[in-house]
Amino acid sequence: MTIESFKELPFEAKLKELKYSGELLGSYERNTENNGPKIPGDIFALYDFWVYLSEDEETIIPSRRNPLPAEETE
């Protein structure tokens, strides 16, 4: 699966992909717009991209780059 095809999936299908095909890499706090409070969640490796899933499981954001520092992913 490519990042483009993942983006086109319905929300529930994205959660299912993370559950069955994703590899949990660790916790991550995502910056919000306008320097608001950070949003806690997790980073998953999925195929050849990474996905942020918020703690409340309401936000899913795929990325082409791993947002975790290199020492956390080794």
What does the pLDDT look like over 30-50, one tens digit per residue? Answer: 887 777 788 899 999 999 999
Residues whose CB is less than 8 angstroms from the CB of residue 17 and which lie 6 or more positions away in sequence, other chains included: 1, 6, 9, 46
Burial of 26 (0-12, 13-18, 19+ CB in 10 A): exposed
Q: What is the pLDDT of residues 5-30, one digit of tens each?
A: 999 999 999 999 999 999 999 999 88
CA distance 33 to 63: 17
- The tokens 């975790």 sit on which residue? 68
